[in-house]
Structure 1
Amino acid sequence: NHQRSHTNDTPFRCEVCSKAFTRKEHFTNHIMWHTGETPHRCDFCSKTFTRKEHLLNHVRQHTGESPHRCNYCTKSFTRKEHLVNHVRQHTGETPFQCQFCPKAFTRKDHLVNHVRQHTGESPHKCSYCTKSFTRKEHLTNHIRQHTGESPHKCSYCSKFFTRKEHLTNHIRIHTGESPHRCEFCSKTFTRKEHLTSHLRVHSGETEHNCNICSKPFAKKEHLINHMRCHTGERPYTCTECGKSFPLKGNLLFHQRSHNKGTGERPFRCDQCPKDFT
């Protein structure tokens, strides 16, 4: 098997898609992807897997085992490849280089997803509508908008979320955790993307430019709001009177005019019983 990696000998060829493999077990696993066969079943739940190592990694979610420990910090991981990717955050190694631009990545899958921004490829297609996505996890999250599935439940309150990262961010509201710290000042953030946006204040970087008037913005959402000045789009509509607004904040401020004199305080804090107009 090893010698074939030097000779490019790939004797195991798939009759369905013509892919070829140097090792029989890789070929067998690939065939199961076509047939949908998942012979490896979890004893803790009903999930099944095409590959035994995928089952072993999954079982560790039930047992809590994380045998792969980082030598640089106290973190440990259920899968060796997750440890390898994590260690690169310490070493700064970015071995996966984009052929279209100077960007480099710590993980191969991050490079693959990035390259699709250059090629325009979006291979993951929704079976409910015409949308397609560059990443499988984006398709999975999108499909939940059609099915209404929200599998990630908060252990502190009754809220459910379609995406695990949304649950993680939400839980930090309860715990007060803000793990993303700015290296230039003392500010900390609950979400990595908020730190990224904040860092542009220090660097002066304005990544998002308006393609109509060239005005630069540090945050993508600020550019989106600005674009409505050009397009006239007013997506936020008042259910009381039908007026529409370009910004959600404008709508919320307007709705207070309907609440005057009624004593109604429709906006409730999710941390305490206080209500607000």
Structure 2
Amino acid sequence: MRGNLGAALFQIAIGIFAAAIFTAEGEPRRAFAPADPSNPLKYLIPGEEFLPPSIAAQQADDFDNPAYALVETGERAWSAPEGTLGKSCRSCHGLGNRNGVRQAAATYPKYVAGLKEVITLTSRINLCRKGNLGADVLAEDSTPMLAMTAYLRWLARGTPETVDKTGPAAELFERGRTLYQTKQGLLQLSCAQCHHERFGQKFGGDSLSQGHPVAYPAYKLDQQRVITLHERFRMCNALVRGRGQPDGSDDYIALELFLNWRSRNLPITAPGVRP
């Protein structure tokens, strides 16, 4: 019964939006080839292609991007000593624009052998804070954490996602794939139904993109604040009348790993701007 209700409501909510994204021949106007032949997508379309031109332009212009102030906060924090050891991120890694640091954000989530688990970029930041700075850990969605992740993701702008789903990360990756395909909530809709089967259409007033995470963290215009990728997951859960989870939950890390693999070869564009 729920499945039928969800399908009916979904069809009522959907409208055609494809004209600006696809050519008359049905090919995307701007796309990238997936890095992995097993990717279920034929081509990767950046999320900006599904935005109104004014918002896409706002994202691309650091002077106009409302999230850029947070990037600057993160840049200052990178060189600021913290904790009992009196060290900063710069003490260990040097300037943030060094090649190794610039590309680091594109590799997460990743399996860390010493921890025997897959960790996110925010987890890595907190591990460094606690172990190398003697500083307190930050809440996943706190302003200082958002600032540091926004800065590191901004540094990686233009770098393709390069997460590794093999070896010890494989089990969590498959969990993420399953979650992506599982119907949820009162509407009984899955991530795949919106972002794989129906991208280029509308769900209510929102244009359905392919759901790539490369622009996160992102500034949400209707809420006038920067949100994490995991908060975006919760918003999607709410849209289908489902139950959300906190930032850093095992399910959300698994979903992030799957989505970042699905986006491999698509350049990072963070921090994004979204309606």
Compute the TM-score of the two structures, normalised by the length of structure 2: 0.21
Higher share of residues assigned strand: 1
Q: Which has the higher contact order (CA 8 A, sep 6+)?
A: 2
Q: TM-score, normalised by structure 1?
A: 0.20
